[in-house]
Every structure is written in structure tokens, then in C-alpha cells.
């Protein structure tokens, strides 16, 4: 039950952060606990997904299962970096809302998949009694954490005035540009496109990027949809990133760069696994449908951002 213990550790990390949000004066040292939960979850999904999630099924995952599961890792690692950064504690409400909504949708996806897998006609690995427990300990605890933060974030009128004054000063000094704002919108649009296509049409996406020699089952479809759920985070965050102070924008961009590096690392793993279709033979250079939203990220880091 080693991996079940890791699930509990992730849950404790998220709940500790939630308690710190509810009682900031009594538990100030636990406010950074959420980053540890995301780090553990992302690391397990990246390096040992078949072991970490093996307790949720009756049988063993294939290499294709592990490959698709690892695609969720960069989102959690990027969130861990953002929360652990020097300004990570100054969370803005739109960012917390994006994480809460994503956690809710991810939890519903796993629970509805479990319902589907209980039908005898469903093709794929049968779930174990730990499947629901895993969903509650990870996505459920994450949802509780973000809801607690969202309900406790308070901004005064003076905070709003100071934020507007800071933004006005940046424009007067020529330290802001519409180019950066437009790139944020472009990133949000492409991320939303990735989220909707992967969530609504998982079978079509998988048939495009996976070799036809592999037989797809409900677990493949679920993790494709999980990728779509997690893609909503950068989509919703990019819509609000233009309103952030410059130092928070840098942290946000760094987290996206971390996501992109991990994504390309996963892209290269298609070859040794032999799971890619002909459409993905040029994956590291062109990328399949899931890599398109990486393009504006490189633009973000290439544009100057004066502090």
C-alpha cells in the first residue's frame, strides 16, 4: 500500500493548505503546502504513472496508458513552481478560480469514467475499489483546497486603486505593450481550443495521434479528457494574466515554460514506445494537435518585459 500512502500524502498537502487559508493567523506555515501536493502528483504521473495509478485497476496498465497519464504531469509541476516561487503566495482570484474549476471538472471526469467502467459491456481494465478513493484524495482534495482559497481571498478598495495606479504608471513609462496583451489572448484561445477538442472528441484525437495497432479503451479516453480539463487552467489564467503585475507575469510565464519543456520531453518519448501514428512522425518539430498552444509561449518569452 505504498502508493496509497502517496495518495494520502497528496491529500494531506492540499487539505493543509485549505486549513491555512481558513485560519491564516493560526496556521501561517502551512500556506505553501499545496505546492507539495502538486509536486508529488506531477512527479508520480511523470515517472511512475503505472505504479501510482496501478492500485485503481484490476490488472496492469500498458505503456500507452502510462504515456497518456504522463501528459497530465506538466500541469501539476508548473502549478508547483508557481506556488513555490517568491510571489506564489500572492494568488490572484482568477487564478484560484481557474484551478478550482479545473479540479471540479477533473473529479467529475474520473467519477463518470468509473460509472462507465462498471458496465459489463465496457472495454478496458476493470476498476478496483481504490479508484474512487484515488479520485477523492487527489482531485477531491485539490477542489477543497482551491474552494477554501477562493472563499477567503479578500481585496479592499485601496488594493484595487493601487493596482490601477500601478498599471497606469507602467503605461505612462512605456513599460507595457499591446503586443504582450494580444499574445496572452492568443494563448488563451489556443488553450481553449485544445481543452474543448480533447474533452469533447477524445476518440478522434487519439485515433489521429496513436498508431492503429493499439486498441483504445475507456482509460485512454479518460486521460485524454483529463488533458482537456487541465488545459483549461492556462486558458483561463492567460485571460487574466494581462491584469497581473509584471513580477507575477514573469512567474506565470516561467511556469508555462516549464510546462512546455516537459511537454516536448514527453513528445520525444513517442518514438521508443512506438505508439505514434504516421501523423505524428514529425512530432518534435511540428507537433500534433496537443502542441499547438506551445507556440505563443515562445513568443511570450521572446518579447521584452521591463520591470
Quickly state the pLDDT bin for 283 (edges 50, 70, 90): very low
Select the more confidently predicted residue: 28 or 232.
232
Select the more confidently predicted residue: 30 or 139.
139
pLDDT in tens, 89-140: 457 788 899 999 999 999 999 999 888 887 755 566 888 989 999 999 999 9
Cell of 123: 472495454
Q: How far is CA 221 from CA 15, 96, 112, 151, in A?
A: 29, 27, 12, 33
**DSSP conformation class of 277:** -
What span, in angstroms and rounded, lies between the C-alpha atoms of 283 and 285?
A: 5
Cell of 27: 496556521
Quickly state the pLDDT bin for 142 (edges 50, 70, 90): very high
SS3 string, 62-76, reads: CHHHHHHHHCCHHHH
| SS3 category, 86 | coil
Per-residue pLDDT at 166 exceeds 70: yes
**pLDDT of the residue at 172:** 76
pLDDT in tens, 187-222: 788 889 989 999 999 999 888 888 788 888 889 999
Cell of 202: 477524445
**pLDDT of the residue at 242:** 78
Burial 82-104 (b: 16+ CB within 10 A, else e): bbbbeebeebbeebbbbbbbbbb
**pLDDT of the residue at 90:** 52
**pLDDT of the residue at 146:** 95
Cell of 303: 518579447
Quickly state the pLDDT bin for 263 (edges 50, 70, 90): low
The mean predicted confidence, pLDDT, of the chain is 79
DSSP 126-142: EE-THHHHHHIIIIIHH
Contact 299, 260 (CB under 8 A): no
Amino acid at each position: 500500500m505504498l502508493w496509497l500512502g502517496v495518495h494520502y500524502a497528496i491529500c494531506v498537502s492540499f487539505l493543509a493548505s485549505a486549513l491555512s487559508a481558513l485560519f491564516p493567523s493560526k496556521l501561517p506555515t502551512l500556506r505553501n503546502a499545496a505546492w507539495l501536493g502538486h509536486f508529488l502528483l506531477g512527479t508520480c504521473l511523470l515517472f511512475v504513472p503505472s505504479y501510482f495509478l496501478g492500485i485503481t485497476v484490476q490488472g496492469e496498465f500498458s505503456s500507452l496508458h502510462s504515456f497518456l497519464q504522463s501528459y497530465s504531469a506538466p500541469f501539476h509541476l508548473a502549478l508547483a513552481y508557481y506556488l513555490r516561487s517568491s510571489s506564489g503566495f500572492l494568488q490572484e482570484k482568477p487564478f484560484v478560480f481557474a484551478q478550482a474549476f479545473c479540479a471540479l471538472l477533473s473529479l467529475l471526469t474520473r467519477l463518470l469514467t468509473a460509472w462507465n467502467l462498471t458496465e459489463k459491456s465496457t472495454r478496458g481494465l476493470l476498476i478496483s475499489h481504490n479508484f474512487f478513493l484515488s479520485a477523492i484524495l487527489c482531485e477531491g482534495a485539490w477542489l477543497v483546497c482551491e474552494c477554501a482559497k477562493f472563499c477567503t481571498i479578500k481585496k479592499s478598495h485601496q488594493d484595487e486603486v493601487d493596482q490601477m495606479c500601478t498599471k497606469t504608471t507602467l503605461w505612462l513609462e512605456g513599460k507595457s505593450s499591446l503586443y504582450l496583451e494580444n499574445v496572452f489572448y492568443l494563448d488563451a484561445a489556443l488553450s481553449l481550443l485544445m481543452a474543448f477538442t480533447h474533452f469533447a472528441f477524445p476518440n478522434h484525437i487519439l485515433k489521429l495521434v496513436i498508431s492503429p495497432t493499439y486498441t483504445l479503451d475507456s482509460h485512454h479516453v479518460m486521460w485524454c479528457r483529463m488533458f482537456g480539463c487541465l488545459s483549461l487552467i492556462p486558458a483561463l489564467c492567460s485571460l487574466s494574466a494581462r491584469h497581473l503585475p509584471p513580477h507575477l507575469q514573469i512567474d506565470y510565464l516561467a511556469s508555462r515554460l516549464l510546462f512546455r519543456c516537459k511537454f516536448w520531453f514527453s513528445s520525444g518519448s513517442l518514438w521508443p514506445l512506438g505508439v505514434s501514428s504516421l501523423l505524428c512522425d514529425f512530432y518534435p518539430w511540428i507537433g500534433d494537435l496537443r502542441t499547438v498552444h506551445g507556440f505563443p509561449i515562445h513568443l511570450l518569452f521572446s518579447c521584452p518585459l521591463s520591470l
